[in-house]
Amino acid sequence: MYIKDIFASKKPVLSFEVFPPKQDQELEKVLSAVEELSLLPIDYMSVTYGAGGSNSKNTTAIASYLKDHLSTPSLAHLTCVTNTREDIRQRLEEYKALGIENILALRGDRPKDFAGEDLFPGYQYASELTRAIRDFGGFCVGGACYPECHPNSPSLEADIENLKKKVDAGADFLVTQMFFDNEAFYHFRDKAAKSGIHVPITAGIMPLTSLNQIQRMVINSGGATMPSKFVRILSKYQDNPEALRQAGIAYAVEQIIDLLSNDVDGIHLYTMNRPKTTRKIIDVINALF
């Protein structure tokens, strides 16, 4: 099923993100987490693509498994990094043969161990990849967006101008980078609409449940703003892991309820492959979808 058709038939849409294992021998463990997550009432699940395609075959394996064994529509991520145009064409052939219908088209970032010369041998920007996938045909294409501006962009305005190019190239819907300040999202959504971006924008929410995760994620998210309310929770409970976990879950729930009451198109939970934490959140907000 195309994700654009899910957005057309129901709103808000609820989705999860999972990531493939780095080691092949952990695939079974991830599949079992994915299976548990798929029992929750979601509309689709997305599967990330490792930096430089390092574990891309597991992205494909999980996306196929979701569709074939768990009756859950899947969204396979795909990046420009180190892929030639021919590599991308082969990947699209493979997805098509497996019946994977939805792709999140991304630029990607420089992998830590990248020693080559040409990081983007095929496509430079996600908009170019989006157009290539649309020209290939047969896929619904999503794109990433950044309520607090992508770190390579000089301003939110410039970033939204580029985002418009991605939508014009054929992105059917957008998924945001994680954010912790809903006001930043509302500001971005208004600006995007004024710039002529009218595809569904689903809000990426990351429940922060441990100090390690918080430090790692804030660096990886390009520095998402931490509202003072959240910083207070962190400083109060940083030495009490269970309290921090509960507070992180409660914060995510509050964020989601506020977004839903402000007519967000969808909620995309960054699950970190954790069914237990995810279930706790869904149990509280289930009736709101």
Residues that bind ligand FAD (CB under 6 A): 48-49, 51, 77, 79, 106-109, 125-127, 144, 150, 152-153, 159, 162, 165-166, 175, 177, 204
Amino acid (one-letter) located at 51: A
Q: Least distance from C-beta 239 to ligand FAD, angstroms?
A: 31
Contact of 42 with 269, CB cutoff 8 Å:
no
Cβ-based nearer residue to ligand FAD, 107 or 189: 107
Nearer to ligand FAD among residue 91 and residue 245 (C-beta): 91
The two three-digit tokens of residue 209, written as one number: 């449940």
Specify the DSSP class assigned to residue 112.
T
Min dist. Cβ of residue 282 to ligand FAD (A): 19
Taking the least distance from each CB to ligand FAD, the nearer of 33 and 244 is: 33
Catalytic choice (17, 101, 128, 148): 17
- 17 catalytically annotated: yes
Strand (E) or helix (H) holding 156: helix 156-168
Is 58 or 277 the residue whose CB approaches ligand FAD more closely? 58
DSSP-derived secondary structure letter, 143 = E
Residue pair 177/203 in contact (Cβ under 8 Å)? The answer is: no
Q: How far is the CB of 223 from ligand FAD (least distance, A)?
A: 12
Is it true that the peptide bond before 241 is cis, omega within 30 degrees of 0? no
What does the longest C-alpha to C-alpha distance in the chain come to?
53
* Contact predicate 130/105, CB 8 Å: yes
The least CB distance from residue 163 to ligand FAD, in Å, is: 7
Interior/surface letters 95-124, b for 16+ CB within 10 angstroms, e for the rest: beebebbbbbbbbbbebeeeeeeebbbbbe
Distance of closest approach, residue 262 Cβ to ligand FAD, in angstroms? 20
Residue with Cβ nearer ligand FAD (123 or 230): 123
List C-alpha distances in Å: 103 to 126, 217, 288: 12, 23, 27
> Which residues does the annotation mark as catalytic?
17
